[in-house]
Amino acid sequence: MVDIVLLGAPGAGKGTQAELLRDRLSLPSVSSGDLFRAALSERTPLGLRAKAYMDKGELVPDEITVSMVAERISQKDCAAGVIFDGFPRTAGQAEELDNLFDQMQRRVDIVLYVMVSEGVLLRRLAGRWTCRECGAIYHREFSPEKVQGVCDACGGELYQRPDDTPETQKRRIQVYLQQTAPLEAYYRGKGLLVELDGEQEIDVVQGDIVKAIGAVTTGRAC
Ligand code: ADP
Ligand code: AMP
């Protein structure tokens, strides 16, 4: 059993690393952003409520986000551990996750803090393309698909997220600095934070992540 949190600014590479890790560890990746986008494409009340915040680059209120994630991690496929991508994003969410995990007799085992400078974040967000079907992530320059506009993994159509416009990107980075960056200190205080150089190539970052997870899981069943 291992429960992993990926922490980092928008565009740091959390989703990219979560995809690789999910395949490597056979654990589900729980992305709150993907859960909101799925709810929105099904036009559920939750999705429609979240849309107003997402469009502006603001965070969806904690009570909506936490109950959605709580429901997701109560599902059977999450019993052996999860990879959180983009959650928690506020101090309140981090505390709620600790409470939820207490009730489940689990704990966050490691927080992987993917560090990337602002200029690089903006370049990454500007070139991000995502598969509409399976959510696979590409970059026009750094990690292109083989056939333009078509997902290598499933043949689905690639699209640019509506919240990847220049104004929204900047707002999301500001919101990250104000509301999410303080989690670094929260998890460092608990001895769970591992800092990673997120500006390296995708495979190199993944190698560092695998090493860090190995260091916390060695010697115990996971
Ligand atoms: P996040 O989930 O943190 O918002 P993503 O995983 O969606 O970030 O990555 C943002 C963009 O940057 C994507 O287009 C992705 O292909 C690209 N990317 C991710 N990691 C790297 C990396 N290490 N080097 C270059 N580009 C990367
Ligand atoms: P992401 O896919 O992680 O980039 O998230 C896209 C958008 O979904 C964010 O800009 C927020 O509006 C919303 N969102 C995703 N995760 C959270 C979260 N943990 N808390 C609040 N809002 C979130």
Q: Give the pocket of ligand 2 (CB within 6 Å).
A: 10, 32-33, 36, 53-54, 57-60, 65, 86-87, 89, 93, 163, 172
How far CA 35 is from CA of 11, 28, 113, 164, 179, in Å, comes to 18, 13, 22, 17, 20
Q: How far is the CA of 20 from the centre of ligand 1 (A)?
A: 12
Catalytic site includes residue 76:
no
- Per-residue model confidence (pLDDT) at position 26: 97
Catalytic residue among 37, 106, 124, 172: 172
Ligand 1 neighbour 65 (Cβ under 6 A): no
Q: Which of 176, 174, 175, 164 is nearest to 130 (CA)?
A: 164
Q: How far is the CA of 220 from the centre of ligand 2 (A)?
A: 33
Ligand 1 neighbour 15 (Cβ under 6 A): yes
Catalytic site includes residue 132:
no
Q: How far apart are CA 168 and CA 10, in angstroms?
A: 11
Question: What domains lie within the chain, and their CATH numbers?
Answer: 2-116+166-221 (3.40.50.300), 119-160 (no CATH)
What φ, ψ does residue 6 adopt, rounded to 5°? Answer: -100, 120
Catalytic residue among 22, 56, 161, 188: 161
Q: Which ligand is nearest to the CA of 11?
A: 1
pLDDT in tens, the chain (222 residues): 899 999 999 999 999 999 999 999 999 999 999 999 999 999 999 999 999 999 999 999 999 999 999 999 999 999 999 999 999 999 999 999 999 999 999 999 999 999 999 999 999 999 999 999 999 999 999 999 999 999 999 999 999 999 999 999 999 999 999 999 999 999 999 999 999 999 999 999 999 999 999 999 986 754
Verdict on whether the full-model pTM lies above 0.95: yes
Q: How far apart are CA 149 and CA 157, in angstroms?
A: 6
- Per-residue model confidence (pLDDT) at position 219: 64
Do the beta carbons of residue 159 and residue 137 sit within 8 Å? no
- Per-residue model confidence (pLDDT) at position 218: 85
